[in-house]
Chains A and B, each alone.
Chain A
């Protein structure tokens, strides 16, 4: 039956590129802004700088650390053997196309209405939806799906706890001391080191494997320390430019202290973009990768194939276009609205969220960056240091994910049957 694939192969690939681009556009238009907005809101970086950082680090994250998430989406959720794709590989192509289109459209609807939905939830809902209805319930690797769903609860909690601990350490070492400015200058480089170390570690352990480099865990750790030290050095040079301006309204100079954290936030913004790229971008292009390998092989499913760079580039361009056409507006809104989040809090939230997401990416689990970040902000709030947090939003987020899963599923089922009728 792979005649269909060889007959319509190019059309399938073109459609996958189009839908994949659409999906990436949606990610760029909304999701990236969520990830980067905190840095913009804290005035650590401008919108232009945020877009620039996003361009570089989203791509780097997707390329260096996104491989496992992409393969989870490609072949971790559907049991290729059980689904019988050997006989009718075109079903997988229809399914992946419908999933991309469904998730893309759902994201568009949600962003228009300001619902806090997640790219990850939409795409997982869509894939599970077409697999259950279009193929059979046995085709889904339920254990995998449940572990992913559990991670959606666990990841915000983890990042919340992490953010609380990071912020408490900031209070102990810097804010609650008699000379917070001097202590900020002293300890902030260490946090910069942590940012470099975490990103470096995940890249080395996970990223370089598919680039063909095999290094041991210990070696990775040593190299990651090196990367951390290098990043710290850059940070130290940047910190030199922060001078204490006298005449603040208290003897403790918090405005100056926040300027030091502002430098730190540039680094956490990069790590946030990297983490987002490794997870959300990867799961947006996963279906495209699946269609591509199916078309390339003429209908034979190849499990371990290297992710072609052009797919990443397509995803990257989609994100940049999304940012440039719509995302910068969202970022500006966020920037205006979250002035309460000072750099010292913003960095703690970002570092915790980025770490959680990057670790999830390393283990191939698709989580929601936005929700993880929300969990991190709540964690900082636990330390009694955010003016006001709107708890309604937390309820809305929970509701939105209960709605997103069936919404993504229904849309993808509809498209699946349309495509099947069109081509088979």
Chain B
């Protein structure tokens, strides 16, 4: 029997707009029936291109965005029905790290203040100098005394992301939702921040919901991967299964489009070039949402929406070619 997962997301759906004074036209279903689980100390990577709904999922897990439907069970409790104090208590245990640390750190407050805030929210009182210094030290800003009174703009991008991580870990979270945490960083700084995240995970047993479009990063940081396309999960499974034997044509195309820093291998590999752009999420294609760009789409794909079905241990795929309709 597998232990209870830390986070269980069930049939999560988010619809934007469609009614109200200023909205025109059709509602946009940004996320449509997404389900997944994250175990204790595990990293699940949510991958996909812009507009696929991966960030919306992250925001709903944080309850920064209200889900339109579905449930979010954290440590056995349904977050979607919690409100007020009860929600606040649970939310301490889930923290978020955003892509742009410039946008998420108050530019007028020194680091001392930025990091004291979450400690106070967690019930600590007093000046908290020692605790703040401890946090800075934990994220590798050493010696911490040198950094504590600086303002965010005095830090480099990588250092700011370390502060954002320190702030998230100040609450001793059990789950951290990291939305493209290293996308704005340079290669060498990216590796530094990822190493820090791995090290903090090893020490604290925290779980990560790691939202990223960068498959190179995902392969080394995640244990499991879920691939989204236009608001739906198309494939999910253990990281090595997804990368070595992707089954959904979109996953295959995404992998083959990911640039390889290896000219010899990059030039000999078979590329799958997708035609066209992503359709608008406000008018997703009927049937399989990927069929307009799929190199192997068939008649059924244009009419019937494929279900997410098991195709191996912990490996789910939503594709008619993997699971012909007759057998569904």
Q: Do A and B come from one complex?
A: no
Q: Which residues of B line the A interface, CB within 8 A?
A: none
Q: Which residues of A line the B interface, CB within 8 A?
A: none
